[in-house]
Amino acid sequence: MLEQTVTMAHGSGGESTGRLIAELFAKNFSNEYLDRMTDSSVVPGSAQIAMTTDSFVVTPVEYPGGDIGRLAVCGTVNDLLMSGAVPKYLTAGFILEEGLPMETLRRVVKSMADTAREAGVLIVTGDTKVVENHSSDAKGEGGLYINTAGVGFVPEGTRLDAASIRPGDKILVSGTLGEHHATILAKRMGLENESLESDNAPLDDIVNHLRTSGAAVRAMRDVTRGGLATVLSEFVLSSGQQIEIEESLIPVKKPVRDFCGILGLEPVYMGNEGKLIAVIAPEDASKALDAVRSAKYGENAAIIGEVTGDHGEGSAELILKTPVGGRRVLGPLYGEGLPRIC
């Protein structure tokens, strides 16, 4: 039996740590590699691998549509996918604050395990540390941070590079924007808005459908912190090509639109945790759109604009065309954004 809350002893590396690992992590994450319970996991490799890491510090740790565990799996899986890799293995590093309710940890770990299964990856090794609880929240409960690092296999000939973006290419977004950001923000503000739910999801099915469709994908990025405008600004910068998007074509759910309207927020700068942008060769745009729309989490995909070309050195910009015929230059997110959104 595990204690009701996490204590410093759970991070000692001794007997308490052993029980926490056996009764919680090993049971939920079980697979042939993790089950060997070695400090390093030896797994089949590949000629080219992709590696990524992300630490997750989101507060609150549970929110409508997801939790820090689901986020930690999706974030790393999605980063691997965006490099053209097939995600294979994750590592999981837990930093727990003493006082964290064991039930919270149990739900988070179960959610990680479920999400890993959904995304087709194995959690092959892990680590647990416990730190003092300096929590300033009303309940005084401890929180947790999760780091996931991931390894994916990169098929030969894979090349995704914003530098290959060309005039005429279409901008595809895989779904509605802003849900994760709006959900976390509403929770932090203490608003009980039942129509807001995070989009927290793995993008493997969308990427697989795109790949199978045969559409020529020039570049692909998940749209996380900083939002659509930040990702597209980076595409403009690295390709030297102007990109123009139509505000009226950008999919945003009504509750998010309403929430943004009240607070003066812009969906194009809001963070997501289950959306991607793909730049597609013009002749393949409708094929790509059909592919994404038929994938899990891709039903609201849309083509929202195009690459309009090289308008002379240094002058390429990201342009938002407004419904009333205006043209607004968008830059990357500047300043704080919303801390601890992921």
Residue 308 sits at φ, ψ, to 5 deg, of: -105, 0
For its own copies, give the closer residue by CB, 148 or 241. 148
- Min. distance of Cβ 68 from its own copies in angstroms? 12
CB 333, min distance to its own copies, A: 4
Segment 149 to 168, residues that bind its own copies, using CB under 8 A: 149-154
CB of 49 to its own copies, least distance (A): 4
Q: Which is nearer to its own copies, 143 or 305 (CB)?
A: 143
Interface with its own copies (CB under 8 A), residue from 176, 183, 200, 230? 230
Nearer CB in complex with its own copies: 130/196: 130
Torsional sign, CA 66, 68, 70, 74: positive
Residue 31 near its own copies by CB under 8 A: no
- Residue 81 near residue 277 (C-beta atoms within 8 A): no
Site string for its own copies, 67-106 (x = CB under 8 A): ------------xx-xxxx---x-xxxxx-----------
| Range in contact with its own copies (rule: CB under 8 A) among 127-135, 239-247, 257-265, 278-286 | 127-135
Where b means 16+ CB within 10 Å and e means fewer, 27-59 reads: ebbebebbeeeeeebeeeeeeeebebebebbbe
CB of 300: closest distance to its own copies in angstroms?
Answer: 24
| CA distances, 62 to each of 82, 97, 140, 197, 236 (Å) | 26, 16, 16, 11, 35
- Residue 54 to residue 79: CA distance in whole angstroms: 9
Tell me which H or E stretch contains 146. strand 144-153
What minimum distance in Å lies between the beta carbon of 260 and its own copies?
A: 18
**Residues ≥6 apart with Cβ < 8 Å to 278:** 171, 172, 174, 210, 217, 219, 220, 288, 292
Residue with tokens 């923000």: 185
With contacts defined by CB under 8 A, name the span among 44-52, 206-214, 251-259, 304-312 that binds its own copies: 44-52
Angle between helices 102-119 and 68-82 (to 10 degrees): 30
Q: Are strands 217-222 and 66-67 parallel, antiparallel or unpaired?
A: unpaired
Nearer to its own copies by Cβ, of 77 and 285: the residue is 77
Pick the closer one to its own copies by CB: 64 or 271: 271
Q: Does 326 contact its own copies by CB under 8 A?
A: no
Among 21, 24, 28, 52, which residue sits at the site for its own copies (rule: CB under 8 A)? 52
Q: List the one residue out of 175, 170, 152, 165 whose CA is nearest residue 252.
A: 175
Nearest approach in angstroms of CB 255 to its own copies is 24
The interface mask with its own copies, positions 234-273, x = CB under 8 A, is -------------------------------------x--
Q: Looking at 47-55, 182-190, 309-317, 321-329, which segment touches its own copies (CB under 8 A)?
A: 47-55
Using CB under 8 A as the binding criterion, the count of chain residues that bind its own copies stands at: 76
Position 333 contacts its own copies (CB under 8 A): yes
Q: Which amino acid is at 302?
A: A
- 131 touching its own copies, by CB under 8 A: yes
Could you say whether residue 38 binds its own copies (CB under 8 A)? yes
- Among 30, 53, 248, 322, contact with its own copies (rule: CB under 8 A): 53
In our burial notation (b when 16+ CB lie closer than 10 A, e otherwise), range 65-96 reads bbbbbbbbbbbbbbbbbbebbbbbbbbbbbbb
